[in-house]
A = this chain, B = another copy of it.
Amino acid sequence: MAMKKKPVTGMKDILPKEMEIRDYVISQIKETYTTFGFSTIETPCVEHIENLSSNQGGENEKLIFKIMKRGDKLTASVPKANEDANVLADSGLRYDLTLPLSRYYANNANDLPSPFKALQMGNVWRADRPQRGRYRQFMQCDIDILGEPTILAEIELITATTTLLGKIGFEKFTIRLNNRKMLKAMAAYCGFDEKDYDNVFITLDKMDKIGMEGVAGELEEQGYPTENIRKYLTLFEKTTDDIDGVEFLKDTLGDFLEPGVAEDLETIMKSVSVTKSADFKIVFDPALVRGMSYYTGPIFEISMDEFGGSVGGGGRYDEMIGKFTGQNTPACGFSIGFERIVMLLLEKDYQIPSKDEKTAYLVEKNMPQDKMLEILKRANEHRANGRQINIAIMKKNKKFQKEQLEKEGYTVFEEFYADSFR
Q: What is A's interface to B at a CB cutoff of 8 Å? A: 1-8, 11-16, 19-20, 22-23, 27, 30-31, 34-37, 39-48, 50-51, 53-54, 65-68, 70, 74-75, 78-79, 81-82, 85, 88-91, 93, 103-104, 106-108, 111-115, 117, 123, 125, 127, 136-137, 148, 150, 152, 155-156, 159, 163, 267, 270-271, 274-275, 277, 323-325, 358, 360, 363, 369, 372-373, 376-377, 380, 383-384, 386-393, 404-405, 407-408
Task: Tell me, rounded to whole Å, the shortest Cβ–Cβ distance linking A166 to chain B.
Answer: 10
Query: What are 9 of the A-B contact pairs (CB < 8 Å)?
Result: A8-B48, A13-B107, A16-B112, A36-B390, A68-B68, A78-B85, A113-B408, A163-B380, A275-B373
- Which residues of B lie under 8 Å from residue A384 when comparing CB positions? 35, 163, 277
The distance in angstroms between the C-alpha atoms of A46 and B156, with both chains bound, is: 36
A23 touches B19 (CB 8 A): no
B387 touches A35 (CB 8 A): yes
Task: Tell me, rounded to whole Å, the shortest Cβ–Cβ distance linking A261 to chain B.
Answer: 16
The 3 closest A-B pairs by CB, nearest first: A37-B390, A11-B44, A16-B39
- Which residues of B lie under 8 Å from residue A152 when comparing CB positions? 363, 391, 393
Task: Tell me, rounded to whole Å, the shortest Cβ–Cβ distance linking A391 to chain B.
Answer: 7
User: Knowing A1-B50, A45-B137, A152-B393 touch, does A75 contact B85 (C-beta < 8 A)?
Assistant: yes
Q: A5-B103, A27-B27, A45-B123 are in contact. List 8 more A-B contacts (CB 8 A).
A: A5-B325, A13-B42, A35-B387, A44-B137, A66-B70, A68-B68, A74-B85, A275-B377
User: Knowing A150-B393, A324-B3, A391-B37 touch, does A271 contact B15 (C-beta < 8 A)?
Assistant: no
B277 touches A380 (CB 8 A): yes
B11 touches A46 (CB 8 A): yes
A137 touches B46 (CB 8 A): yes
- Which residues of B lie under 8 Å from residue A5 when comparing CB positions? 103, 106-107, 324-325
A54 touches B13 (CB 8 A): no
Copies of this protein, total: 2
User: Knowing A8-B47, A88-B88, A103-B4 touch, does A380 contact B275 (C-beta < 8 A)?
Assistant: yes
User: Knowing A19-B39, A111-B15, A392-B115 touch, does A51 contact B4 (C-beta < 8 A)?
Assistant: yes
The distance in angstroms between the C-alpha atoms of A199 and B238, with both chains bound, is: 82
The distance in angstroms between the C-alpha atoms of A95 and B189, with both chains bound, is: 56
A23 touches B40 (CB 8 A): yes
A50 touches B3 (CB 8 A): yes
The distance in angstroms between the C-alpha atoms of A324 and B3, with both chains bound, is: 6
A386 touches B65 (CB 8 A): no
User: Knowing A15-B112, A377-B274, A384-B277 touch, does A4 contact B163 (C-beta < 8 A)?
Assistant: no
Task: Tell me, rounded to whole Å, the shortest Cβ–Cβ distance linking A26 to chain B.
Answer: 10
